[in-house]
Amino acid sequence: MSQSTLWTDDFLDQQRRRSDPLADEVVAQIVSQSGPEEARKLFDLLIRRLETPVSELPPVVGDFIQATRRLPAWTDWQQVDLAQGLFLDHGPKFLVVLYFKSLPLLYSCAHGAQVLVRTSRLTNEDRSLKIFARRIAETGQFLIDVMTAGGLRGGQGIQSIQKVRLIHAAIRHFVHREGWDAEQYGQPINQEDMALTLMTFSIALIDALQQWGIEEPPERLQAFLHTWTAIGHNMGVEDSLLPSSLEEGRLLMDRILQRQSASSEAGQLLTRALTDFSRNLLPSDKLQAAPDAFIRYFIGEERAGMLGIAPNYGCLSFLGPQLLRSLFRLGERLEDKVEGPVSATLDLLSRRMALALVDLFNDYKGRTFRVPEAMERAWGVR
């Protein structure tokens, strides 16, 4: 029987009341044994360190680290290798899509956007949009960590998953303490919201390749989804919300978006931070309208309107996405004809954005954005 038969409104409503008991229990034990200030120290430590500071974590975290240090037994490692190869080939494009499709889809969900705003406010008293931009940059780092060859075999990818999962648990604790309307919004970072995030990092990314006219063998795309379902398991997503096929994944993503998409002040605030962030990545002042155009292209006029992005009937609203699509398709044709590092003409805009992302992240964190050497060579970035 298909998993999708479970995904009724009643079932998904129940998932909004469920969170992540394993990680939540770690934070609860810290609070019980040492008080809320110790939990706050853990939260601050995790968000301010690029790596997972295992040696500095409270002893109670040790059992959690041990229990989550491997992907589930059903993980097919050949598919993981295929997925990471796909990311190596298209990483800069995936980063572009992450910012112009995946994150806007999440921001279009009014209830989930409330948590994202409170999450960023928890991390810093700075009320400017810069704190949201830092979260955006860190999302790109997480994507690179889990998609790096070997990263999910006990390497940086696993550590990043553990770190984010503990951060989520700490957020749930502090958001509840500050007053959270669970009846209206569901649990903060609940199962439905986590499942949607998983789909926007997998289904939304690979479907965007087709939007750009880039064809990939179905087995590579299926491998990408399989790998993200394994990541999702370790992130605390319940197996009942892990699709086994691309068709199921699209159905789950569409169903949750239909249920949750609505205009909200929180979603519009996050989108302003995203477009401001993106404008810093673009290679020309003449392309400052491009972020809005790309978001409209990727998620459609209706959801873009929910995010406060007004319709634009100028030439850039059409030519911007078409130009980027043409660049990507040209890159695919050239790639078949050249050997060695990616040609200087390959994926011009997406590589430029990847470089600017590295620079921007370094400015915010005061630390070096991690791009593995193999990716640096393939993408032409340093």
CA 220 to the chain's CA centroid? 20
pLDDT tens per residue across span 326-337? 544 544 443 443
pLDDT of residue 375: 79
Nearest Cα residue to 104 out of 364, 300, 249, 252? 300
pLDDT of residue 282: 64
CA 316 to the chain's CA centroid? 27
pLDDT of residue 335: 42
Q: φ and ψ at 369, to 5 degrees? A: -65, 130
Q: Provide the CB-side half-sphere exposure for 240 (13 A, CA).
A: 11
What residues in the chain have per-residue pLDDT under 50?
125, 327-328, 330-346
CB-CB neighbours of 146 under 10 Å:
27
At which residue do the structure tokens 């965007």 appear? 208
Q: Provide the CB-side half-sphere exposure for 30 (13 A, CA).
A: 26
Using CA atoms of 157, 161, 163, 165 in order, give the dihedral in degrees to the nearest 10: 180
Nearest Cα residue to 176 out of 65, 28, 33, 41? 28
What predicted TM-score, i.e. pTM, was given to this entire model? 0.87
pLDDT of residue 133: 67
Q: How many domains does the chain have?
A: 1
CB-CB neighbours of 375 under 10 Å:
20
Q: Does residue 289 sit within a domain?
A: yes
pLDDT tens per residue across span 194-222? 999 999 999 999 999 988 888 999 999 99
Q: Does residue 113 sit within a domain?
A: yes
Q: Does residue 374 sit within a domain?
A: no
Distance CA 288, CA 275 (A): 9
Residue 142 tokens read as: 């997480």
Element (H, E) at 112: helix 110-122
pLDDT of residue 340: 33
pLDDT of residue 155: 87
DSSP 128-181: STHHHHHHHHHHHHHHHHHHSTTTTTTSHHHHHHHHHHHHHHHHHHHHHHT---
pLDDT tens per residue across span 85-135? 999 999 888 988 898 999 999 999 999 999 988 876 555 545 555 666 677
pLDDT of residue 123: 54
Handedness of CA 64, 177, 42, 273 (dihedral sign): positive
Q: Does residue 358 sit within a domain?
A: yes
Q: Does residue 379 sit within a domain?
A: no
Q: Does residue 378 sit within a domain?
A: no
Give the C-alpha distances (Å, rounded to integers) separating 165 from 19, 113, 223: 11, 18, 23
Nearest Cα residue to 287 out of 298, 296, 279? 279
Given phi > 0 = left and psi -120 to 50 = alpha, else beta, which region is 150?
left
pLDDT of residue 339: 36
Q: Does residue 375 sit within a domain?
A: no
pLDDT of residue 159: 92
Task: Please give the residue range of the domain that contains residue 229.
Answer: 3-367
CB-CB neighbours of 296 under 10 Å:
24
Find out whether 361 and 138 touch, Cβ atoms under 8 Å: yes
DSSP E strands: which ranges in the chain? none
pLDDT of residue 353: 64
Q: Does residue 356 sit within a domain?
A: yes
